[in-house]
């Protein structure tokens, strides 16, 4: 198939591009390279540098690529940043999405696989989480993703779009070529591995007083290859609707750090810190629907393998894809912490 893939220079987009190309699909990556990396774009793909917020750029790219389907990864994805600057998120994730949908409609492209998130559920009423749980996001990031799901649902009902919403839990791990490199890095596993590499002195544990067995938050960590595989099943099949993608197993922050210590053989200093605003205590997927309808079979469900693969990639790329060019614009937790400190003093 011919696929136009937005955000192919990002973490999940780059690995999905690699796997699609391995299966002989033809991929055009559309990416503004603002937060992604040119080096993360598989050289077998065609790269169009453009921004979804620019209607003309995505319309022209869509016309030129004439894809059978779209995979939409390009978005801002930092919860903390979205709390600080919600409009940035609505402009990019929602408005950019509408521009993409318009370009699809103009080019008569109906099929879209959309990177959605478990953040659309907010604080879940129950775990494991099924797709029919109420969606009540607790941050603008989750809200922007939910709003775009709704846009696509209306496009489905009124103009024949065939959307799939893949609601990811915690993406992690790496392939031999592509891995996780964000600036700033806010995610747990790469932050832990940075300490193992000697690139950071310690990792902060955001809260150890949650109602969980060891007091730290529990998440469902899902290998990036398994995530990418779900996209391939979705694009090669004809299902529509929403699918949660996780392993159905939860690991606490402490368990992640302990596993990383075992895999890397490094001490990995950890320090208790205040809770991070907006963190639900426990997020675990029920992926029964994806397994049944898409035929999805995650291959790398255990945390040790996930961390082993991530560690191999980070050892090969200790500074990520390139030495950072851009200044660190925003460190969400530190910003929140600074505010707390300020409040306390005044
Ligand atoms: N976390 C942490 N220290 C870090 C980064 C994350 O304790 O340096 C915690 C975070 O509070 C959450 C879990 O690890 O409970 C997973 O966070 P991450 O940012 O990786 O993913 P999220 O669940 O927010 O999508």
Tens-place pLDDT, residues 213-269 = 999 999 999 999 999 999 999 999 999 999 999 999 999 999 999 999 999 999 999
> Can you tell me which residue has the tokens 């780059």?
14
- Give the residue, out of 195, 206, 207, with the most ligand 1 atoms within 8 A of its beta carbon, to mutate for a pocket test: 206
The DSSP code for 285 is: B
Rounded distance from Cα 28 to ligand 1 centre (Å): 32
Percent of the chain with pLDDT over 70: 93
pLDDT recorded at residue 263 = 98
**From the alpha carbon of 217, which atom of ligand 1 is closest?**
15
57-69 mean pLDDT: 98
Residue 126 has pLDDT above 90, yes or no: yes
In the reported structure, the alpha carbon of residue 84 is separated from the centroid of ligand 1 by a whole-number distance in angstroms of: 17
pLDDT surpassing 60 at residue 167: yes
Which atom of ligand 1 lies at the shortest distance from residue 253's CA?
14
- Is the distance from CB of 126 to CB of 180 less than 8 angstroms? no
Ligand 1 centroid to 170 CA: how many Å? Answer: 9
Domain ranges for the chain: 2-172+223-245
DSSP collapsed to 3 states, 76-140: CCCHHHHHHCHHHHHHHHHHHHHHHHHHHHHCCCCEEEEEEEHHHCCCCCCCCECCCCCCCCCCH
Exposure letters 262-275 (e unless 16+ CB within 10 A, then b): ebbebebebeeeeb
187 ligand 1 Cβ < 6 A: yes
Please name every residue paired with 117 in a beta bridge, in sequence order, or none if there are none. Answer: 168
Centre of ligand 1 to C-alpha 282, Å, is 11
Q: Residues 106-110: what's their mean pLDDT?
A: 98
Q: pLDDT digits over 269-311, tens only?
A: 999 999 988 788 999 999 999 999 999 999 999 999 999 999 9
Please give the pLDDT value at position 322: 77
Measuring from atom 14 of ligand 1, which residue has the nearest CA? 188
**In whole angstroms, how large is the CA radius of gyration of the chain?**
19
Q: Is the pLDDT of residue 343 over 90?
A: no
- In this structure, the strands spanning 251-252 and 218-219 are antiparallel
Cα gap 187→18, rounded to integer Å: 23
Q: Residues 253, 189: contact at Cβ < 8 Å? A: no
pLDDT at 346: 31
* Chain position carrying tokens 């002989």: 24
For residue 329, what pLDDT is reported? Answer: 52
Is residue 82 within 8 A of residue 89, CB to CB? The reply is yes
- What is the C-alpha to C-alpha distance for residues 165 and 114, in angstroms, rounded to an integer? 5
In the chain, beta strands by DSSP E: 2-6, 26-31, 46-49, 69-72, 111-117, 162-168, 170-172, 203-206, 218-219, 221-223, 241-245, 251-252, 270-273, 282-283
Q: Residue 205 pLDDT more than 80?
A: yes
Of the listed ranges 3-17, 143-157, 320-334, the least confidently predicted one is 320-334
Region 2-172+223-245: CATH code: 3.40.50.720
Q: Which of 5, 15, 4 shows the shortest CA–CA distance to 181?
A: 15
Quick one: pLDDT at residue 337? 46
Residues with Cβ < 8 Å from 56, sequence gap 6 or more? none
pLDDT at 279: 87
* Statement: residue 344 has pLDDT above 90: no
| 91/75 Cα distance (integer angstroms) | 10
Average pLDDT for the chain? 93
Atom of ligand 1 nearest to the CA of 256: 14
Interatomic CA distance for residues 86 and 80, integer angstroms: 10
Question: Which residue's CA is minimally distant from atom 20 of ligand 1?
Answer: 187
- Dmax (CA) of the chain: 61
- Catalytically annotated residues: 141
pTM, 2 dp: 0.93
Distance of CA 42 from the midpoint of ligand 1 (Å): 28
Q: In this predicted structure, what is the pLDDT of residue 277?
A: 84
List CB contacts of 176: < 8 A, sequence separation 6 or more: 312, 313
Closest CA to 35 of 329, 334, 336: 329
pLDDT for 270 equals 98
Q: Establish how many alpha carbons lie within 13 A of residue 332's alpha carbon, considering only the half-sphere containing its beta carbon.
A: 21
Calpha distance 211→207 (Å, rounded):
11
Average pLDDT of 80-105?
96
Ligand 1, atom 10, residue with closest C-alpha: 206
The pLDDT confidence band at residue 333, using thresholds 50, 70 and 90, is low
């Amino acid at each position: 198939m011919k696929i136009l893939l937005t955000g192919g220079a990002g973490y999940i987009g780059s690995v999905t591009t690699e796997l699609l190309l391995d299966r002989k699909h033809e991929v055009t990556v559309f990416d503004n390279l603002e937060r992604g990396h040119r080096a993360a774009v598989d050289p077998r793909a065609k790269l169009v540098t453009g921004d979804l917020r620019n209607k003309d750029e995505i319309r022209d790219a869509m016309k030129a690529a004439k894809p059978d389907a779209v995979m939409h990864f390009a978005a801002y994805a930092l919860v903390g940043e979205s709390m600080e600057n919600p409009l940035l998120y609505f402009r990019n994730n929602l408005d950019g999405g509408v521009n993409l949908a318009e370009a699809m409609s103009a080019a008569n492209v109906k099929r879209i696989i959309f990177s959605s998130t478990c953040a659309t559920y907010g604080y879940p009423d129950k775990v494991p989480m099924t797709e029919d749980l109420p969606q009540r996001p607790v941050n603008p990031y989750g809200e922007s993703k939910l709003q775009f799901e709704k846009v696509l649902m209306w496009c489905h009902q009124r103009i024949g779009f065939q959307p799939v919403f893949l609601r990811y839990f915690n993406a992690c791990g790496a392939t031999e070529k592509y891995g996780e490199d964000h600036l700033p890095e806010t995610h747990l596993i790469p932050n832990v591995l940075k300490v193992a590499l000697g690139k950071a002195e310690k990792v902060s544990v955001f809260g150890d007083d949650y109602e969980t067995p060891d007091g730290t938050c529990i998440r469902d960590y899902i290998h990036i290859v398994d995530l990418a595989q779900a996209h391939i099943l979705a694009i090669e099949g004809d299902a529509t609707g929403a699918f949660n993608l996780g392993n159905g197993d939860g690991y606490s922050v402490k368990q992640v750090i302990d596993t990383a210590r075992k895999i890397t053989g490094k001490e990995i200093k950890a320090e208790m810190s205040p809770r991070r605003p907006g963190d639900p205590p426990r997020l675990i997927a029920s992926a029964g629907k994806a397994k049944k309808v898409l035929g999805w079979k995650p291959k790398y469900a255990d945390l040790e393998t996930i961390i082993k693969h991530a560690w191999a990639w980070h050892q090969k790329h200790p500074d990520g894809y390139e030495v950072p060019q851009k200044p660190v614009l925003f460190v969400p937790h530190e910003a929140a912490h600074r505010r707390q400190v300020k409040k306390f003093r005044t």
